[in-house]
Amino acid sequence: MLVYMELSMRAGTAPICPYGQAGCHVPTLADLFDRVIQQSSRMHGISSDLHSQFEQYFLPSKNLIGKRKCHTYGILTPDDKENAQRLGREQLTEVILRLLGAWGDPLSQFYQSMSRDQNQDFNHYSSNKAMEISDMVHELRDGVAKMAEKMKLSGVLDNTVSYVSPESFVPFSTVSYYKRGELNPMDHHDLLHCFRRDSNKVKNYLRILKCTTLPGLDC
Protein backbone atom coordinates (compact mmCIF):
# COMPACT_ATOMS: atom_id res chain seq x y z
CA MET A 1 0.00 0.00 0.00
CA LEU A 2 2.73 2.38 0.93
CA VAL A 3 4.69 1.42 -2.11
CA TYR A 4 1.67 2.04 -4.20
CA MET A 5 1.15 5.37 -2.69
CA GLU A 6 4.70 6.26 -3.19
CA LEU A 7 4.60 5.22 -6.77
CA SER A 8 1.42 7.00 -7.42
CA MET A 9 2.78 10.13 -5.94
CA ARG A 10 5.64 10.00 -8.26
CA ALA A 11 4.21 9.10 -11.53
CA GLY A 12 0.85 7.50 -11.42
CA THR A 13 0.39 3.80 -11.49
CA ALA A 14 2.45 2.88 -14.45
CA PRO A 15 4.85 0.04 -14.00
CA ILE A 16 8.50 0.80 -13.80
CA CYS A 17 10.68 -0.11 -16.71
CA PRO A 18 14.30 0.62 -17.26
CA TYR A 19 14.23 1.37 -20.93
CA GLY A 20 11.42 3.79 -21.05
CA GLN A 21 9.04 1.80 -23.12
CA ALA A 22 5.70 3.22 -23.74
CA GLY A 23 3.30 2.92 -20.93
CA CYS A 24 5.68 2.53 -18.11
CA HIS A 25 7.23 4.83 -15.72
CA VAL A 26 10.90 5.50 -16.16
CA PRO A 27 12.73 5.40 -12.90
CA THR A 28 14.51 8.46 -11.79
CA LEU A 29 18.10 8.57 -10.78
CA ALA A 30 17.06 8.63 -7.20
CA ASP A 31 15.07 5.48 -7.74
CA LEU A 32 18.03 3.83 -9.33
CA PHE A 33 20.29 4.81 -6.54
CA ASP A 34 17.90 3.52 -3.95
CA ARG A 35 17.55 0.23 -5.70
CA VAL A 36 21.19 -0.24 -6.23
CA ILE A 37 22.04 0.64 -2.69
CA GLN A 38 19.45 -1.73 -1.35
CA GLN A 39 20.73 -4.49 -3.53
CA SER A 40 24.30 -3.96 -2.49
CA SER A 41 23.32 -3.86 1.14
CA ARG A 42 21.51 -7.10 0.81
CA MET A 43 24.35 -8.70 -1.00
CA HIS A 44 26.72 -7.71 1.71
CA GLY A 45 24.39 -9.10 4.33
CA ILE A 46 24.23 -12.46 2.69
CA SER A 47 27.94 -12.66 2.25
CA SER A 48 28.39 -11.82 5.91
CA ASP A 49 26.06 -14.62 6.88
CA LEU A 50 27.90 -17.06 4.75
CA HIS A 51 31.21 -16.00 6.09
CA SER A 52 30.17 -16.35 9.70
CA GLN A 53 28.80 -19.76 8.94
CA PHE A 54 32.11 -20.77 7.54
CA GLU A 55 33.85 -19.39 10.52
CA GLN A 56 31.82 -21.65 12.74
CA TYR A 57 32.63 -24.76 10.90
CA PHE A 58 36.03 -23.91 9.75
CA LEU A 59 38.14 -21.80 12.05
CA PRO A 60 40.57 -19.83 10.02
CA SER A 61 44.12 -20.36 10.85
CA LYS A 62 45.30 -17.11 12.20
CA ASN A 63 48.68 -17.68 10.83
CA LEU A 64 47.46 -17.27 7.36
CA ILE A 65 45.91 -13.93 7.97
CA GLY A 66 48.79 -12.13 6.51
CA LYS A 67 49.05 -14.36 3.56
CA ARG A 68 45.51 -14.13 2.53
CA LYS A 69 45.23 -12.25 -0.64
CA CYS A 70 42.12 -11.57 -2.58
CA HIS A 71 42.18 -11.80 -6.30
CA THR A 72 40.93 -8.25 -6.50
CA TYR A 73 43.78 -6.77 -4.64
CA GLY A 74 44.96 -5.38 -7.93
CA ILE A 75 42.03 -3.04 -8.06
CA LEU A 76 42.96 0.11 -6.28
CA THR A 77 40.31 1.09 -3.92
CA PRO A 78 40.21 4.04 -1.56
CA ASP A 79 40.66 2.82 1.95
CA ASP A 80 39.39 5.81 3.84
CA LYS A 81 36.94 8.58 3.54
CA GLU A 82 39.28 11.24 2.32
CA ASN A 83 40.65 9.08 -0.40
CA ALA A 84 37.21 8.07 -1.46
CA GLN A 85 36.02 11.61 -1.63
CA ARG A 86 39.10 12.66 -3.44
CA LEU A 87 38.50 10.05 -6.08
CA GLY A 88 35.58 11.75 -7.71
CA ARG A 89 32.36 10.34 -9.06
CA GLU A 90 33.63 8.96 -12.27
CA GLN A 91 36.45 7.03 -10.82
CA LEU A 92 34.39 5.87 -7.98
CA THR A 93 31.84 4.53 -10.40
CA GLU A 94 34.52 2.81 -12.31
CA VAL A 95 35.93 1.20 -9.24
CA ILE A 96 32.52 -0.05 -8.35
CA LEU A 97 32.03 -1.54 -11.74
CA ARG A 98 35.37 -3.19 -11.67
CA LEU A 99 34.82 -4.75 -8.38
CA LEU A 100 31.46 -6.08 -9.38
CA GLY A 101 32.81 -7.35 -12.63
CA ALA A 102 35.67 -9.12 -10.95
CA TRP A 103 33.40 -11.16 -8.75
CA GLY A 104 30.95 -12.53 -11.26
CA ASP A 105 32.98 -15.50 -12.27
CA PRO A 106 34.47 -16.53 -8.97
CA LEU A 107 31.09 -16.54 -7.32
CA SER A 108 29.68 -18.79 -10.00
CA GLN A 109 32.50 -21.16 -9.42
CA PHE A 110 31.96 -20.95 -5.75
CA TYR A 111 28.35 -21.83 -6.16
CA GLN A 112 29.14 -24.74 -8.38
CA SER A 113 31.72 -25.97 -5.99
CA MET A 114 29.34 -25.70 -3.10
CA SER A 115 26.59 -27.59 -4.78
CA ARG A 116 29.03 -30.30 -5.70
CA ASP A 117 30.34 -30.76 -2.27
CA GLN A 118 27.88 -32.95 -0.49
CA ASN A 119 29.84 -33.64 2.61
CA GLN A 120 28.96 -30.87 4.86
CA ASP A 121 25.65 -30.28 6.51
CA PHE A 122 25.48 -26.62 6.04
CA ASN A 123 26.01 -26.85 2.37
CA HIS A 124 22.39 -26.79 1.43
CA TYR A 125 21.74 -23.49 3.08
CA SER A 126 25.04 -22.17 1.95
CA SER A 127 24.66 -23.18 -1.63
CA ASN A 128 21.36 -21.35 -1.79
CA LYS A 129 23.03 -18.27 -0.48
CA ALA A 130 25.89 -18.72 -2.86
CA MET A 131 23.51 -18.87 -5.73
CA GLU A 132 21.84 -15.74 -4.50
CA ILE A 133 24.96 -13.68 -4.28
CA SER A 134 26.16 -15.01 -7.56
CA ASP A 135 23.02 -13.74 -9.21
CA MET A 136 23.04 -10.54 -7.28
CA VAL A 137 26.48 -9.56 -8.29
CA HIS A 138 25.52 -9.78 -11.92
CA GLU A 139 22.35 -7.85 -11.42
CA LEU A 140 24.08 -5.21 -9.45
CA ARG A 141 26.67 -4.74 -12.06
CA ASP A 142 24.04 -4.25 -14.68
CA GLY A 143 22.16 -1.90 -12.43
CA VAL A 144 25.15 0.25 -11.68
CA ALA A 145 25.98 0.36 -15.35
CA LYS A 146 22.54 1.60 -16.15
CA MET A 147 22.77 4.11 -13.41
CA ALA A 148 26.07 5.32 -14.77
CA GLU A 149 24.49 5.71 -18.13
CA LYS A 150 21.75 7.75 -16.67
CA MET A 151 24.20 9.86 -14.80
CA LYS A 152 26.06 10.51 -17.95
CA LEU A 153 22.90 11.47 -19.69
CA SER A 154 21.98 13.85 -16.98
CA GLY A 155 25.38 15.37 -17.06
CA VAL A 156 26.32 14.29 -13.64
CA LEU A 157 29.07 12.08 -14.88
CA ASP A 158 31.60 12.84 -17.43
CA ASN A 159 31.85 10.59 -20.32
CA THR A 160 35.14 9.33 -19.19
CA VAL A 161 33.45 6.52 -17.42
CA SER A 162 33.36 3.48 -19.54
CA TYR A 163 31.59 0.30 -18.84
CA VAL A 164 34.30 -1.96 -17.73
CA SER A 165 33.77 -5.44 -18.92
CA PRO A 166 34.92 -8.10 -16.60
CA GLU A 167 37.03 -9.66 -19.26
CA SER A 168 39.19 -6.63 -19.41
CA PHE A 169 40.13 -7.04 -15.89
CA VAL A 170 42.13 -10.13 -15.26
CA PRO A 171 44.76 -9.40 -12.71
CA PHE A 172 44.89 -12.92 -11.66
CA SER A 173 42.78 -15.51 -13.18
CA THR A 174 40.63 -17.08 -10.68
CA VAL A 175 42.26 -20.31 -11.51
CA SER A 176 45.34 -19.44 -9.63
CA TYR A 177 43.39 -18.36 -6.68
CA TYR A 178 40.43 -20.51 -6.59
CA LYS A 179 41.39 -23.51 -8.58
CA ARG A 180 38.58 -23.48 -11.01
CA GLY A 181 36.23 -26.27 -10.32
CA GLU A 182 38.10 -27.58 -7.38
CA LEU A 183 37.62 -25.24 -4.55
CA ASN A 184 38.23 -26.81 -1.21
CA PRO A 185 36.84 -25.54 2.05
CA MET A 186 39.93 -23.47 2.69
CA ASP A 187 39.42 -21.74 -0.57
CA HIS A 188 35.81 -21.24 0.20
CA HIS A 189 36.64 -19.45 3.34
CA ASP A 190 39.17 -17.20 1.69
CA LEU A 191 36.82 -16.43 -1.08
CA LEU A 192 34.06 -15.48 1.27
CA HIS A 193 36.32 -13.36 3.33
CA CYS A 194 37.40 -11.45 0.29
CA PHE A 195 33.93 -11.10 -1.09
CA ARG A 196 32.51 -9.87 2.17
CA ARG A 197 34.98 -7.11 2.18
CA ASP A 198 34.54 -6.19 -1.43
CA SER A 199 30.78 -6.09 -1.15
CA ASN A 200 31.15 -3.75 1.78
CA LYS A 201 33.32 -1.51 -0.32
CA VAL A 202 30.79 -1.50 -3.10
CA LYS A 203 28.03 -0.61 -0.73
CA ASN A 204 29.99 2.17 0.81
CA TYR A 205 31.13 3.61 -2.45
CA LEU A 206 27.65 3.63 -3.79
CA ARG A 207 26.46 5.53 -0.78
CA ILE A 208 29.15 8.05 -1.15
CA LEU A 209 28.30 8.36 -4.79
CA LYS A 210 24.70 8.93 -4.01
CA CYS A 211 25.28 11.50 -1.33
CA THR A 212 27.64 13.46 -3.49
CA THR A 213 25.33 13.26 -6.48
CA LEU A 214 22.00 13.67 -4.74
CA PRO A 215 22.35 15.09 -1.33
CA GLY A 216 19.09 14.75 0.48
CA LEU A 217 17.30 13.34 3.39
CA ASP A 218 19.18 10.12 3.55
CA CYS A 219 22.55 11.66 3.63
Helix/strand/coil (H/E/C) assignment for every residue in 92-133 = HHHHHHHHHHHHHHHHHHHHHHHHHCCCCCCHHHHHHHHHHH
Number of residues that bind other proteins (CB under 8 A): 30
Output 158 or 218, the one with its CB closest to other proteins. Answer: 218
Q: How many CB atoms lie within 10 A of CB 194?
A: 22
Which residues are CB-neighbours of 213 under 8 A, at least 6 positions away?
A: 29, 33, 89, 151, 156
Among 76, 175, 186, 219, binds other proteins (CB under 8 A): 219
Helices (H), the chain: 2-11, 29-57, 81-87, 89-116, 123-153, 174-178, 185-213
- Distance, in Å, from the CA atom of 12 to the CA atom of 14, rounded to the nearest integer, reads 6
Among residues 186, 154, 149, 147, which one has the least CA distance to residue 63? 186
Nearer residue to other proteins within complex by CB, 80 or 121: 80
CB of 41 to other proteins, least distance (A): 7
Among 69, 86, 116, 124, binds other proteins (CB under 8 A): 69
- Applying CB under 8 A, does 204 fall inside the site for other proteins? yes
Give residues 70-89 in contact with other proteins (rule: CB under 8 A): 73, 77, 79-82, 84-85
Indicate the residue among 77 and 93 with the shorter CB distance to other proteins: 77
Residues 33-62 that bind other proteins (CB under 8 A): 41, 44, 48, 62
Find the shortest distance in angstroms from Cβ 20 to other proteins.
28
Residue 201 within binding range of other proteins, rule CB under 8 A: yes
Q: Which residues contact other proteins (rule: CB under 8 A)?
A: 41, 44, 48, 62, 65-66, 68-69, 73, 77, 79-82, 84-85, 197, 200-201, 203-204, 207-212, 215, 218-219
